[in-house]
Structure 1
Amino acid sequence: MKSTNTDTVRFDGARLRIEDIGALSRRERSAELSADPAFRRRIQAGSDFVARLLAEDGVIYGVTTGYGDSCTVVIPPELVPELPHHLYAYHGCGAGAMLSPEQTRAVLAARLASLSQGMSGVSVELLAQLEGLLKHDILPLIPSEGSVGASGDLTPLSYVAAVLCGEREVLMAGVQMPAAEALRQAGMTPLRLRPKEGLAIMNGTAVMTALACLAFERAEYLSRLATRLTAMNVVASAGNAHHFDAVLFAAKPHPGQQQAAARLRADLASEQPSRNSERLQDRYSLRCAPHVIGVLEDSLPFLRQLIENELNSANDNPLIDPDGERVLHGGHFYGGHIAMAMDTLKTAVANIADLLDRQLALLVDTRFNHGLPSNLSGATGPRAAINHGLKALQISVSAWTAEALKQTMPASVFSRSTECHNQDKVSMGTIAARDCLRVLELVEQVGAAMLIAARQGVALRRRIQPDLVLGAPLAAMQAELEDRIPLLVEDRALDKELQALIAAIRERSWSLYEQA
């Protein structure tokens, strides 16, 4: 999976993890195509087999025939070399926002991982060209819209194929330029795709899988952040820490739910139950937080399996068996597993936003926050009348939460018959992945707002309970938040602080519990 040099991710057909793709996307590690002779012989064997079939007048879909519904169209032998270039040319019809640099690097890595399985009939030179794009950070400008998720991510991946051949536009060192110029600056030569290679690049699930890898990492972090925020909100609202008792959670043994409760127990170790003896039970958004967060925690191992199996698969069509020397026609470009993973993940994550939104609604309301000032305003005396605390922030959190919840309509059920009914059942996996990323973006905004609220709420609780003792994890978190965010006393715009906190969440600035 990895070389002995931890600064590289080695592509040799061995299994990669989600974290490998994430590290490559952030340029924390570099890509290395294996130089192992056995690996390279296997790759070359597939390419040689395709060449031999062509020389012997073999019929290969997408090599000696047209594509999709045009598979009955026989390509004259003298035109076969042109076919791969026609494939990426006519698929150059993407629209929408361009993938970000991080997303684009992940796409390149996911496609290289699949082709390195050695069942796509491509040359070592093609793999090296993909490696070169990653090493020199030559990033194809890939429109995010236009894929139905079968036959794979055809349209967005056409932009990768074109760039390998020196066509279309790229970003290099943050500057947009023609692909041919970027390759020249990197000392690379544009490819002339061999038969089957255009299909091998484009007919796969690399875009949806790449986005899924990035979504998974963000969701995993948000789960831990939501747990820490819940602990702080229990403190701020003088809640009952005994709701997270180990014996209680042993009675309902969902592992992720138990883990969330254990994390809350660790955070609240120095806390006492509520001083209000009449309030034995907090409202659900606090008491049932492990049950909400636990759904996400328990989903993550299953979703990891789906995403990593797709990442480590040969997923174009047809596949080339270099050992048995067979051409295998199938449908591995179908992105149903990624579609299901992303539809599931976005629902679990949106529920985290809903949980935090409800916690904030309690914290700002004097009917439910057990002695805290209205809207968590820090103003006192006569000036309290003209200050509004987090009133507007709570409205924004509700807006972001509502939008996240609205986005949870599953994409996978919206299959459309396309391409003259050849692609008559499609996955919509890339749309599901894009939807999931949008939900994550919104929930990260909610999380940033809740960091402001938690910082404010704990500080205001200390006014009421000067002897309040925080456990070490919460004390450290509160101290850092106080360094970042001044106590809100007089009304002020919070947008700059909010944006800085959103960025900090996306950079995973806080070490929260054990790392995955």
Structure 2
Amino acid sequence: MIKKRITFGDAPLAIEDITSLAQGETLATLSKTEEFNQKIKAGVDYLQALLAKEGEIYGVTTGYGDSCTVGVPLNRVHELPINLMRFHGCGLGDIFSEEESAAILAARLASLTQGYSGVTPELLALLVTLLNKRVLPIIPQEGSVGASGDLTPLSYIAAVLMGEREVWYQGQRLSTVDVFRQLDIESIRLQPKEGLAIMNGTAVMTALACLAYSRAAYLAKLTTRITAMMSIALKGNPYHFAEGLFSVKPHQGQNQIAAWLRADLDVVDQYNTEKRLQDRYSLRCAPHVIGVLQDALPWFRQFIETELNSANDNPIIDGVNQKIYHGGHFYGGHIAFAMDSMKQAVANLADLVDRQIALIMDTKFNQGLPANLSAATSSHAMINHGLKAVQIGASAWTAEALKLTMPASVFSRSTECHNQDKVSMGTIAARDCLRVLQLTEQVAAAGLLAVRQAIGIRQHQKSGDCTLTSHVQDMYDLLVEDIAFIVEDRPLESDLRSLTKAIQQQKWSLYGA
């Protein structure tokens, strides 16, 4: 099968371009237009001309950061990026996954192909080769304060371009030298500005934000479907989602969630007198909770895609107009704010589903369902506990997600001799957001397990009030295929892991997507 190619350097890229490259579904290619090639060449030529005139350029003929007052003689400028890469090789913590590493490569390529970084065509071509052959730098997650960009993690890309450190290849952690030799890839010698161009930017936080966006958008839909199934299992009042009700509070995303719930529950704009007058908030207010995330998604996209399609290193090299700008585009404030906001909205989804799970387990609230959704026969009922521990687990995952909602962006630290005295913490915010997503996906998995069991019990009860609309029936049938009905207690870890993986792979088509 021939893979679609994503072209860098022609038009702005979308979040989906980065996620498809990260997952290996598409390949990267560079623009072949004369305009693009001339723009890249102009930046390189202008830098060379300045060096010939012995012009002063930060990070090219000077030291880095607070050391910008230290001059570097021309016979040493080619050694400077090597030292920059090496002294930043101090990352710690877990290693980014292959998907995350590929996303980071793609995000850095997106910035460099804006044509304002003074990098050579050879460097861009090597980045494309690494992406397409899935030779992905091993990058530790910890060590960035989000300005001067993601210096330490991005040094691992610079090192691989020069044939150093390690890479992921075919699922293994291997020496870069060995993989390059095997694939006949030539490493490059970084030109004077190219160390900064690779490292002094927001590619790590932006890449993680792209991956987070896709998962958050899917969770908004999934928790809506879980809410519909919870409402059915709990004999909730679908009138809470009536179109007339939501017409008077016209948040667009909130109204979208209500519309999806109406479709799932076949709601008519007429009060159902046979149902409880007012359901508890975790059902009745679900559109108001999920709707916050749904309404925030457009501006999350704007922040992320603007950053993705920006030149965000320093200095900025405008080769066409022969100007150099020294500034602070490496500052990741927009991504930090987006990720801090996203993790709060997502954690609220975990809290919502956790409360729904608590209701459906408790005989005081679950409208005649057995305690803890145990379907054990009467002779074995006293020794079976159903989903009791799953509910405890969901509560634990929710608590951890809520704990992580403290905004990272307010914890700026003054570093590097007070040169970097106000920093974004964008990469920490993005990493926190991914953890909150993981925990919320686990809570959603518990919610799916609960509604699969609860609806199964209702159908066994044959009470006649558990009618499913076609979309909900399709979802329920898929859950039945994967998750066996629980009669006697059994370990449920494998079921939860399977459901969590399915959520992350976005297995179920929801609401037309």
1:514 Cα deviation (Å)?
A: 3.0
Amino acid of the residue matched to residue 279 of structure 2?
D
Amino acid of the residue matched to residue 285 of structure 1?
S
State whether residues 200 and 317 of structure 1, in contact with CA within 8 Å, keep that contact through their aligned partners in structure 2. yes
Indicate whether 1:386 and 2:375 are aligned: no
1:464 Cα deviation (Å)?
A: 4.8
1:398 Cα deviation (Å)?
A: 0.2
Q: Which residue of 1 aligns with 2:471?
A: 473
Other structure's SS at 2:79 match: helix
Indicate whether 1:286 and 2:273 are aligned: no
State whether residues 242 and 268 of structure 2, in contact with CA within 8 Å, keep that contact through their aligned partners in structure 1. no
Indicate whether 1:209 and 2:206 are aligned: yes
Other structure's SS at 1:176 match: strand
- Offset from partner CA, 1:229-281 (integer Å, 9 cap, x none): 00000000000011100110010000000000000000001799998847211
Indicate whether 1:301 and 2:298 are aligned: yes
* CA gap 1:509/1:271 in 2 versus in 1, 3 angstroms: farther
Indicate whether 1:356 and 2:353 are aligned: yes
- Offset from partner CA, 1:334-386 (integer Å, 9 cap, x none): 00000000000000000000000000110000000111111111113221111
Which of 467, 481, 487 matches 1:483? 481
Which of 497, 500, 507 matches 1:499? 497
Identity %: 60
Other structure's SS at 1:327 match: strand
Other structure's SS at 1:381 match: coil
Q: Which residue of 2 aligns with 1:95?
A: 92
Amino acid of the residue matched to residue 306 of structure 1?
F
Other structure's SS at 1:47 match: helix
State whether residues 152 and 334 of structure 1, in contact with CA within 8 Å, keep that contact through their aligned partners in structure 2. yes
Amino acid of the residue matched to residue 295 of structure 1?
V
Which of 310, 315, 320 matches 2:312? 315
CA distance in 2, matches of 1:342, 1:470: 36
Indicate whether 1:233 and 2:230 are aligned: yes
Amino acid of the residue matched to residue 135 of structure 2?
I
State whether residues 147 and 156 of structure 1, in contact with CA within 8 Å, keep that contact through their aligned partners in structure 2. yes
Q: Which piece of structure 1 moves more, 412-421 or 374-383? A: 374-383
1:506 Cα deviation (Å)?
A: 0.6
Q: Which residue of 2 aligns with 1:325?
A: 322
State whether residues 243 and 269 of structure 2, in contact with CA within 8 Å, keep that contact through their aligned partners in structure 1. no
Indicate whether 1:170 and 2:167 are aligned: yes
CA distance in 2, matches of 1:270, 1:489: 32
Q: Which residue of 2 aligns with 1:512?
A: 510
* CA gap 1:317/1:166 in 2 versus in 1, 3 angstroms: same
Q: Which residue of 1 aligns with 2:79?
A: 82
Question: 1:78-477, aligned counterparts within 5 Å?
Answer: 78-269=75-266, 277=274, 279-462=276-459, 463-466=461-464, 468-477=466-475
Give the TM-score normalised by structure 1. 0.97
1:181 Cα deviation (Å)?
A: 1.8
- Offset from partner CA, 1:397-430 (integer Å, 9 cap, x none): 0000000000000000000000000000000000
Give the TM-score normalised by structure 2. 0.98
CA distance in 2, matches of 1:226, 1:59: 56
Other structure's SS at 2:39 match: helix
Q: CA RMSD for the aligned pairs?
A: 1.5
1:186 Cα deviation (Å)?
A: 2.1
1:467 Cα deviation (Å)?
A: 5.5
State whether residues 241 and 273 of structure 1, in contact with CA within 8 Å, keep that contact through their aligned partners in structure 2. no
Other structure's SS at 1:412 match: helix
State whether residues 257 and 290 of structure 2, in contact with CA within 8 Å, keep that contact through their aligned partners in structure 1. yes
State whether residues 238 and 262 of structure 2, in contact with CA within 8 Å, keep that contact through their aligned partners in structure 1. yes
1:12 Cα deviation (Å)?
A: 1.2
Amino acid of the residue matched to residue 124 of structure 1?
P
CA distance in 1, matches of 2:331, 2:162: 26
State whether residues 336 and 430 of structure 2, in contact with CA within 8 Å, keep that contact through their aligned partners in structure 1. yes
State whether residues 239 and 267 of structure 2, in contact with CA within 8 Å, keep that contact through their aligned partners in structure 1. no
Q: Which piece of structure 1 moves more, 205-214 or 457-466? A: 457-466
Other structure's SS at 1:330 match: coil
* CA gap 1:166/1:21 in 2 versus in 1, 3 angstroms: same
CA distance in 1, matches of 2:133, 2:278: 57
Unaligned runs of 5+ in 1: none
Q: Which piece of structure 1 moves more, 409-418 or 381-390? A: 381-390
Amino acid of the residue matched to residue 470 of structure 2?
A
Aligned length: 511
1:391 Cα deviation (Å)?
A: 0.4
CA distance in 2, matches of 1:399, 1:204: 36
Other structure's SS at 1:81 match: coil
CA distance in 2, matches of 1:119, 1:186: 31
Other structure's SS at 1:369 match: coil
Q: Which residue of 1 aligns with 2:68?
A: 71
Q: Which residue of 2 aligns with 1:34?
A: 31
CA distance in 1, matches of 2:320, 2:172: 44
